[in-house]
Structure 1
Amino acid sequence: MTSNTYIDFSEQHDLSPWEIQNDTVMGGLSHSKLVCNEAGNGVFKGKVSLENNGGFAMVQYYGKPWNVSEYSTVLIRVKGDGKRYQFRIKNQRNDRHSYIQYFETNGKWQTISISLDKLTPWFRGKKLDQSNFKGDCIEGIAFLIGNGKDEDFSLEIDKIMFG
């Protein structure tokens, strides 16, 4: 089975569909942004702060529903800073929960393969007692950092593909 590209920053420089959501929605002081770098990749960067009960930063993308019924994995090509991140998907934009998988970065380009059926449901930092992702489509994807400490971060994103 071949892979099918969902997001390719080298071809899509319009960042307007991407939204930042930080812990400021709950009074926290973390801040982040998404920019395109000179190589044409998206860079999610900022600072996570634990002040005022904060502790996370997230960038999310919502598009028209994407049929993933013929795919079993999502492949993300990223270059991180050695920190742990979450990859998140939503069946529908209005779903309260997301399906997540943690991944570790190593400072080099990596293509990380995540089995769709291994994505587990979470809501507000708590794992839900529901089955793993079984959907046929997604409307949203996100990257989140929230490792329980104050830290600067930078995650360069090249592509998101399904295979």
Structure 2
Amino acid sequence: MTLTFNDPSEQQRWYAVDDGVMGGKSRSQFSVVDGEGRFHGEVSLENGGGFASVRREPHDFESTLADARGITLTVRGDGRTYQLRLKSTSLGDASAYRVTFMPPQDHLEILHFPWSAFEAVRRGTRLSDAPSLKPSDLTQVGFLIADRTAGPFCLQVTQMTALHDEH
């Protein structure tokens, strides 16, 4: 199953969870424009903030990950570091599995992330005693930026695919 951004209604499945939950001033949103998803906004370091994120409401894509070996993203960045985050019933609500990446600015790149590349974190801190990621327990996908740099950002995603073959 591939998640593409050709249907404008996909935008309604995404919602922001920014550092405002702890007093910060960062802001973000997810837009669907010209066949791509865009995670964009501005990171602020004011009031102890410094992160912005978007999550996707569980839908058909998450259920197709149960038999996958990982996730493939086709993305273009802006010189900043991002995280692909996966929520799971195996972890508490404030925790997620993450993989960090910095996509190129000048062209789309296909990135392959096997499940073994993800680490469990809780509020940015690695969880050493967390269970291994089980794809069948995944309930949500999302993106986060927390690179300790204030300013605007934009991650462009043209597709997200369940990885079924070895790369």
Provide, for residues 98-127 of structure 1, a one-character-per-residue CA deviation record: whole Å limited to 9, x for no partner.
Answer: 000001111120111101122110011100
**What residue number does 2:20 align with?**
24
What secondary structure, in the 3-state scheme, does the structure 2 residue paired with 1:158 have? Answer: strand
Task: Please say if residues 81 and 145 of structure 2, whose CA atoms lie closer than 8 Å, have aligned partners that are also in contact.
Answer: yes
Stretches (4+) displaced over 6 A: none
Within 5 Å, give how 1:10-159 maps onto structure 2: 10-11=6-7, 13-37=9-33, 39-64=34-59, 66-92=63-89, 95-107=93-105, 108-129=107-128, 130-159=130-159
Letter in 1 for 2:23: G
**What residue number does 1:162 align with?**
162
Paired residue total: 158
Letter in 2 for 1:100: R
Report the CA distance between 1:78 and its aligned residue: 1.1
TM-score under structure 2 length normalisation: 0.86
Task: Please say if residues 30 and 56 of structure 1, whose CA atoms lie closer than 8 Å, have aligned partners that are also in contact.
Answer: yes
In the aligned structure 1, how far is the partner of 2:38 from the partner of 2:13? 15
Report the CA distance between 1:94 and its aligned residue: 6.7
In the aligned structure 1, how far is the partner of 2:95 from the partner of 2:17? 15
In the aligned structure 1, how far is the partner of 2:116 from the partner of 2:139? 17
In the aligned structure 2, how far is the partner of 1:14 from the partner of 1:101? 23
Provide, for residues 48-90 of structure 1, a one-character-per-residue CA deviation record: whole Å limited to 9, x for no partner.
Answer: 0111000000010021451423211200111111211000001
TM-score under structure 1 length normalisation: 0.88
Task: Please say if residues 90 and 138 of structure 1, whose CA atoms lie closer than 8 Å, have aligned partners that are also in contact.
Answer: yes
In the aligned structure 1, how far is the partner of 2:86 from the partner of 2:28? 20
In the aligned structure 2, how far is the partner of 1:67 from the partner of 1:94? 22
What secondary structure, in the 3-state scheme, does the structure 1 residue paired with 2:21 have? Answer: helix
- Segments of structure 1 that go 5 or more residues without pairing to the other structure are none
The two structures, once aligned, show a CA RMSD in angstroms of 1.8
In the aligned structure 1, how far is the partner of 2:121 from the partner of 2:92? 14
Letter in 2 for 1:63: P
